[in-house]
Structure 1
Amino acid sequence: MKFLILTQYYPPEVGAPQVRLQAMIRELVAKGHQVEVVTAIPNHPLGRYFPGYKSRMYSWEISQGIKIHRTWIYPAIGAGLKRIFNYLSFTLSSFWGMMKAGRPDLVWVESPPLFLGWTAMVYSCFRRVPFIFNIADLWPDSIIDLGLMRNGLAARMLYMAERAIYNRAKYVIAVTQGIRDRLINSKGLPARKILYLPNGVDTEMFRPSPVDMQLAADLGLAGKDIILYSGTLGFAQGLGSVLEAFQIIRDSHRQMVLLMVGSGSERNKLQQMAQERNLDNVRFLDPVPPEMINKYLSISLAGLVCLKDLELFRGARPSKMFPIMSCGKPVIFCGRGEGARLVHDSKGGVVVSPEDPTALAKAIADLAGDGETSKQMGLNGRDYALKYLSWKRIVGEWLNQLESRQNDGNYE
C-alpha cells in the first residue's frame, strides 16, 4: 500500500509527534509499504527555521530512504495570532506538497493541528483518495480546556470543522482509549469508524545502557542524583509545580538535580521562576535528538512526566514515558487516568497527584533513598515495554485492524 503522510511536525525537529511518526514510518516500510511525507520547513519548537533550511515555497529531500516534501510555513511558537498564522500557512502551502507527491492509496493526516483536515478533504476530493485522521490531541477540546481559547464563536467554528473532517475521513485514529471513548460518547462517531494506534517506543534505540560518565562530567553533574524531564516545556505540563517540589527538597537533598531538556512556550517563564527562587538544583538544556535521550537517561535516577490536573488529560498517556521505561528507568508520573494506570499496571514507576509539589518532593526523596526499589521499577518498565510497547507490535496490530476493515467491506 502507498501511504502519504501529512504532518506539520517531522524530524529533524524534536518532539513526540516527530519521534512517533518516524518510528511508525520505519515499521510501515519494513512491512513492505511505500511512504512519502508532506511536512513543513523545520521550525518547531524554536520558532525559527533550522540551520540548513531556507524560506522556500517547496523543496524535497530523501531521508532514511523516504521522500519528504517540505512546504513553506510561518515560523512561530506560543499562542496568539502568530501561532494561528503558523498553522494556517502550512495548511495552505501543504496542498502544493501533496500535489507534488505520488498518488497514494491512502492519506494519513496527523492532528493537531486540526486545520490539516481541511487540506486533506480538498485533496481527497480532487484526487479521489481516502484519508484517515490521526488524533494525538483532541482539538478544539484541549485548547479550550487549557484556557487558550474561549468557548465562543471561534470555538463553535472549530467544532463545525471538526465534525466535517470526521464525517469525510474514511477512518479516525485514536492514540488512547480515552480519546476513543470521547469520540464515541461525546462526538457521536460509530465505533466501526475508529481505529486504535497507541503510542509506542523503539526498544532498540531506547535500551538500558551503562552510565555515560563523560556526559555527566561535561554537564558538571558527576555524582548527582538527576531527575530528567525531556520534552515540551509547555502550558499543558504544569511544570511550575515541579520547580516548587525542587524548592522543597533543595536543602534536604543537596545532591538532587532537575535536568530539563527541551523547549516550548513556557521555558522562559520557568527559567525566570527558577532564577527568582534561586533554584541552583534546576538546570535547563536545549532539545537534543531522540538518539541522545538514552545517554541522558543513563545518568538519571528517574524520568519525570507531568500533566496539568484537567479532566481532558484523564484520557492521555504521554509518549515521553515510554523511552524512560524502555531504558530501564523508573517513571515519576504526575497525573491521573490512563497514563497513571499504565504506570501502575507496569509497576514501572510511581504515580503522584498532578500539580502537587509536596507529594512530588516526597516521591523523589523516597526513590533516591531506596535504590533497590528504584532498580526493580526500572526492570519492570523495560519488561513491559518489550512485551507491549514496541512499535513493531503496535504498527502490526494497527495494520491488522485496517486489513480487517477492508475484508469486512468497510474500506473504499
Structure 2
Amino acid sequence: MNVLLLNQCFYPDVMATAQQLTDLALGLSEAGHTVTVIASDRGYDDPSQRFPPRETWRGINIIRIPSLALGKKSRLRRSINFGTFLINCSWQLLRLKRFDVVVALTSPPLISYLGSLFVRLRGGKFFFWVMDLNPDEAIAAGWLKENSLPAKLFAALLKSSLAHADGIIALDHFMKSRIVAKGVPSELVTVLPPWAHDDRVNFDHEGREVFRREHGLKDVFVVMYAGNHSPCHPLHTLMEAARELSTRKDIVFLFVGGGSEQEKVRQFAAQHELETVRCLPYQSAANLSASLSAADLHTVVMGEEFVGIVHPCKLYNILRVGCPFLYIGPTESHVGEIAAQLDSSRPAYLATHGNASLVVQHILKALADWREGKPRPVAEIASSFSRQALLPRMISLLESEKPEEAPLTKPVADGRILAGRSS
C-alpha cells in the first residue's frame, strides 16, 4: 500500500501531532507499506529551526515545503503563515501521482480539504484524522464570528472534507458527536485517542533527579503544565493559584512547552513578581521521560467551550509516568471520564475555571502526600492508551479493516465526576 500523510508537523519536530504522525509513519513502514510525508520545513513552535527539504528517514520519504514565518503574535500573521504553506502544499500535490491512501490531519486548518481534493483528482482512499475541529475552535476562541463570511467558508470546506472521507478518526466520543452533528454518518467515524509514547515514556527516576538538579528544583514540590500553551487551555486559574501560593518557596510552578499563551504566563509572573513560576521550552523526545517524571503534580486544562473540539493528549503520558494530576475544566469531558475511573491510590484532583482557592487546596493536599513519601501511582488505564494498543488499530483502519470500537472511558450518567481526592 502506498500512503501519503499530510500535516504541517513531522519528525524531527516535537509538537504532539508531529509525534503522533511520526509513530504512524513508522508503524506503516514497518508493516511493509510505502510512506510519503508532506510537512513544513520549519519548526512549528520555533520557525527559525529549518529542516532539509528532502529526506529519506527510516524508509520514509519526507517532502518538506517552505512557508513564511511571520510569527504568531497576530491572527493575520498566523493566517499568512498557514496560507503560504497551503499554497506550496497545493503545488506539491499537483506534481504527485496517485496514492492508495491519503491521511490528512488538521494543521494547518484546511489541509484536509487539499487531501480530499487530491483523492478526488487522483483516486485512492481519503482518511481524515481530526486532531481539532475548525472553524469550531476559531469560533469558540473568539477568533472568528460564527456568522462571518470566513467562518461560513471554512465550515463549508470542513463539511466537504468530511463528506468525501472514506474514514474519519475522532479522538474521543465528544468529538465524534460534534462530527456526526454536522451530518456525517456515525458508522464513518471511528474513535481512536492519540496514544501515549510508551516506547519512550515511562517513569525515569534517574532522569527526574538529573532534570530537577539542572533546573534548580531539588527539594521543592513541582506543579507542572507541559505542552501547548493555547487559548483552548486557559491558564488563568492555575496562575491565580500560583499567585496565592507565591510565599510558599517550597512549591514551584513549571510551565514547559510553547505556544501563544506562554508569553502571557511570563508576563503574569513578572507583573506579580512570582519567583516560583518558571518557563521552559519544549523538551526533546530523548528528554521527555525525564522532564515529565520531574513533576510531582501534573496539570491538565480544558476550556469550557472546547470539549469535543480539541483533545488533551498530554494526559496519556502523564498516566504513563504515574503522576497524580490536577484537572481544571468542565467535568463532563473526556478527562473527567478518565478521572472518574481512578481510585484514591491514583488521585485526580478536579476543579472548575475560576475556582483558584480549590486549586490551592488540591495542591496543598498533593504536597502533603508527597511529603509523606507516598508511592507514585501506576494507573492500569494507561495501558488502554498505549502506542502498542492503539497504533495497530489505526493501521488496521487504514488497511480498510475497520477495528472494533471498544469504549476506552466510561461516561458518568448524571454528569457528576467523583474521582480520587477531588473533594
TM-score between the two structures when normalised by the length of structure 2: 0.87
Gaps of 5+ in 1: 54-58, 408-412
Change (3 A) 1:142 1:249: same
Number of the residue aligned with 2:420: none
In 2, distance between residues paired with 1:202 and 1:217? Answer: 25
2:156 pairs with one of 160, 175, 191: 160
1:80 pairs with one of 75, 83, 98: 75
2:178 pairs with one of 177, 182, 199: 182
1:325 corresponds to which letter in structure 2? Answer: L
Tell me which moved more, 354-363 or 138-147: 354-363
In 2, distance between residues paired with 1:200 and 1:159? Answer: 28
Number of the residue aligned with 1:20: 20
SS for the counterpart of 1:122 is helix
Matched, 1:67 2:61: yes
1:214 pairs with one of 188, 192, 210: 210
Matched, 1:10 2:16: no
Say if 1:112 and 1:138, in contact at 8 Å, map to a contact too. no
Change (3 A) 1:101 1:324: farther
SS for the counterpart of 2:228 is coil
TM-superposed deviation, 1:405: 5.5
TM-superposed deviation, 1:379: 2.6
1:334 pairs with one of 328, 336, 346: 328
In 1, distance between residues paired with 2:232 and 2:196? Answer: 22
TM-superposed deviation, 1:373: 9.1
In 1, distance between residues paired with 2:55 and 2:249? Answer: 48
1:262 corresponds to which letter in structure 2? Answer: G
Say if 1:224 and 1:257, in contact at 8 Å, map to a contact too. yes
Say if 2:41 and 2:50, in contact at 8 Å, map to a contact too. no
In 1, distance between residues paired with 2:258 and 2:60? Answer: 27
Higher share in helix: 1
In 1, distance between residues paired with 2:263 and 2:395? Answer: 42
In 2, distance between residues paired with 1:406 and 1:356? Answer: 43
User: Percent identity of the aligned residues?
Assistant: 22
Taking the TM superposition and a 5 Å limit, the aligned residue runs for 1:70-219 are 70-75=64-69, 76-98=71-93, 103-151=98-146, 152-184=148-180, 186-211=181-206, 212-219=208-215
Change (3 A) 1:147 1:299: same
Number of the residue aligned with 1:228: 224
2:268 pairs with one of 268, 273, 281: 273
Gaps of 5+ in 2: 404-423
Tell me which moved more, 70-79 or 359-368: 70-79
Change (3 A) 1:78 1:25: farther
Taking the TM superposition and a 5 Å limit, the aligned residue runs for 1:332-411 are 332-336=326-330, 337-347=333-343, 348=346, 349-371=348-370, 375=374, 378-381=376-379, 383-386=380-383, 388-402=384-398
Change (3 A) 1:239 1:95: same
SS for the counterpart of 2:222 is strand
TM-score between the two structures when normalised by the length of structure 1: 0.89
1:190-235 C-alpha deviation (Å, 9 max, x unpaired): 0122122211112131111214333222212211111121111221
Say if 2:176 and 2:308, in contact at 8 Å, map to a contact too. no
How many pairs align?
A: 395
Say if 1:70 and 1:97, in contact at 8 Å, map to a contact too. no
Number of the residue aligned with 2:316: 322
1:146-198 C-alpha deviation (Å, 9 max, x unpaired): 111112111111111111121122222211111111111x2011012212221
TM-superposed deviation, 1:352: 2.1
In 2, distance between residues paired with 1:249 and 1:142? Answer: 32
SS for the counterpart of 2:304 is coil
SS for the counterpart of 2:232 is helix
TM-superposed deviation, 1:404: 5.9
Change (3 A) 1:385 1:78: farther
RMSD, matched Cα:
2.3
Tell me which moved more, 231-240 or 75-84: 75-84
Number of the residue aligned with 1:38: 38
Say if 2:173 and 2:308, in contact at 8 Å, map to a contact too. no
2:15 corresponds to which letter in structure 1? Answer: G
2:329 corresponds to which letter in structure 1? Answer: G
In 2, distance between residues paired with 1:256 and 1:345? Answer: 28
In 1, distance between residues paired with 2:402 and 2:225? Answer: 42
1:323-369 C-alpha deviation (Å, 9 max, x unpaired): 11101212222122111111221444322223432221111111110
TM-superposed deviation, 1:313: 1.7
